[in-house]
Structures are given as structure tokens and as C-alpha cells.
Amino acid sequence: MPIIDPYDGYSRSPGYPISNALVVTPSDTETLPVIPSKILFSHPGNYRLTFEGGQTVDVYFKDYWTFFEARITQIHATGSKPNATITVFW
């Protein structure tokens, strides 16, 4: 039996429902392969992020498994929590 998509024919909103996910590694030289609508950070700590508008800022997350809704183009290795699992969703 084929999968039924009750949302077929509707335009997609920027945040929901999520259709794709990818685990990424922070990099000082590589941008993300896609601009996500949500990012999941596995560990608390500082993360250096570049936003779609070009601003690079250091963000601190105080909790484990934090979802962050933002249009990010790069997650930098320098200034970011080492060994954290980061998953982007779009």
C-alpha cells in the first residue's frame, strides 16, 4: 500500500513539518549544505553560528538537547562545544 501524504498539495511552511535531517560537524571552513529551519544541539555550551544574514555570533545553550529555530549557514568549530552532536532539520 502506498504512503498517503495528507499535506500533498499544500505549500510547505518554513518550520513544520520537518521532512529532512542531517547530522553535521562544526567547521571553520565549510558552510552547511542546506539552510535549516531547526537545529538540535546535544550538549550545553557555547556555539559560534553564522546566520543567513551574515552575522556571526556566539550563542550559549544551558540545557542538553536544545532545539534552536534559526536560519544558520555555518556552525564554526572554533568557539563551539567540542564533540557535540548537531542535527539540522528542514
What are the domain boundaries of the chain? Answer: 21-89
Confidence of residue 14 (pLDDT cuts 50, 70, 90): low
Name the more confident of 13 and 88. Answer: 88
DSSP conformation class of 11: P
Only one residue has cell 547530522, namely: 23
Is residue 22 pLDDT above 70, yes or no? yes
DSSP track, 14-41: SSSS---EEEE---SS---SS--SEEEE
* pLDDT number for residue 18: 85
- At 24-62, the pLDDT tens digits run 999 999 999 999 989 999 999 999 999 999 999 999 999
pLDDT over threshold 80, residue 1: no
In which band, very low, low, confident or very high, does the pLDDT at 82 lie, cut at 50, 70 and 90? confident
* Confidence at residue 6, expressed as pLDDT on a 0 to 100 scale: 72
